[in-house]
Amino acid sequence: MKFLGVTLASLGLASAASVAKKTSYDDWKVYRVNVGSHAAEIENVMSKLQLELWKGKPSTSAVVDIMVPPSAVKDFEASTADIQTEIMHENLGLSITNENSFGEYVAARGAAPSATWFNSYHSIADHMQWISDLAAAYPNNAEVISAGKSVEGRDIKGIHIFGSGGKGSKKGVVWHGTVHAREWITTMVVEYAAYQLLTSTDATTAGFKNTYDFYIFPIVNPDGFAYTQTTDRLWRKNRQKTPLASCVGRDINRNWPNRWSQRGGASTDPCDQTYKGPSAGDGVETKALKAQLDSIAAGKGVTLYMDIHSYSQLWLYPYGYTCSGVVPNSAKYASLTRGAIAAIKAVHGTTFTGGPICSTIYQVSGDSVDYAVEVAKANYSMTVELRDKGNYGFILPTAQIVPSAEEMWAGLRYTLNNL
């Protein structure tokens, strides 16, 4: 779901269409800034130095995480001398190097996946193969599906998991991961959930297949994800052209055709990280994901839709577009959220915060969660922000993949068991 940014074209980063070589973040720093009464001052510094926010909005957040290039570090530190700050990444390039070592999967291709998959991050090609291998290993309960094609022609590939009665016989549960390309941990966590549904011998988990049809998409932004691996690790949006030739990409989670153009909920700047697109639902991936969700809704219906993001450790529910509106059945949403957060904490002690999207973090318009509940008529529609709270942010070490997946599975399992 994250994050608001300012124009990056002058930095030659993220949104510049002409970028061909791999973006270097050597000696870049990430600062956590305590906003306090300094919101206007922080916004002025960001505008002057053309900086990007990783997390929050100065106008509404207690803290914000800001990425600063080497050329701006001296000016940034001088400009924020009277504001409490701490360094989250001393050298962002080194943090990326330490994180960015893909696990070997070539030798295992075609075989039933094992839990060792979750010990490291992987290339997009290996992720696509892993989905196929998982479905092939459990042909009586799974099949490979596609929501359609991306801007660059990649499959938006997923896995359909089903039980008694055969595929499509139950109401749907839909999970999306890697909407924002740089959120690599979400890919792994969504895959872990699919793996648990098919491999767990726990009676409750195994029984979920007989209650719901699961439509699970670990990477719904494959072009952006591929771009993070070849060119810019911190790319967020899709790779679609915009009206401004120098800037690329829409934020898929600001482009859904519902409550699309709400003041304060998205950006109109094609260079911005939260750019909503020229028109509602015009994103190539958005169209495909919308059509796929609509088809499930028109069939047996959608019991649960979940959009998995990172970072901040939040469990959220509608609405995003308004802070004053209250979602129907809000008491049940709140109860499910409390239970899921407790289940998560019981695994590794990780603390999540819950509540409505808008009032808990900030306003978001044109998002999938509001679309799912208002248009697709999902019984429940939620989103989460995974680990961590900013020590690593988007660059979460591989050692945290399994713990993050385990605790989130506990939250998902609680939710499924208490709908």
Q: Which residues are catalytic?
A: 385
Range list of β-strands (E), 17-127:
29-34, 52-55, 63-68, 85-89
SS3 of residue 33 by DSSP: strand
Per-residue DSSP letter, 274: T
Residues 158 and 176: beta-carbon distance below 8 Å: no
Which among 87, 120, 125, 88 is positioned nearest to 102, based on CA atoms?
120
396: tokens are 């979460």
306: tokens are 């979940």
Phi, psi of 173 (to 5 degrees): -120, 125
Residues 336 and 315: beta-carbon distance below 8 Å: no
Which among 268, 209, 191, 278 is positioned nearest to 240, based on CA atoms?
278
Phi, psi of 156 (to 5 degrees): -90, 85
Residues 173 and 215: beta-carbon distance below 8 Å: yes
Which among 39, 87, 97, 38 is positioned nearest to 67, based on CA atoms?
87
Q: Is the peptide bond before 215 cis (omega within 30 degrees of 0)?
A: no
Residues 340 and 210: beta-carbon distance below 8 Å: no
Which position has the token pair 């993050």? 404
Interior angle at CA 64, CA 33 and CA 237, nearest 5: 140
Percent helix, strand and coil across the chain, each rounded to 5? Answer: 35, 20, 45
SS3 of residue 357 by DSSP: helix
State the CB neighbour count (10 A cutoff) for residue 209: 19
256: tokens are 């859904």
CA distance 76 to 385: 28
- The Cα-based distances of 379 to 2, 147, 339, 357 in angstroms read 25, 21, 17, 17
Which position has the token pair 């109401």? 171
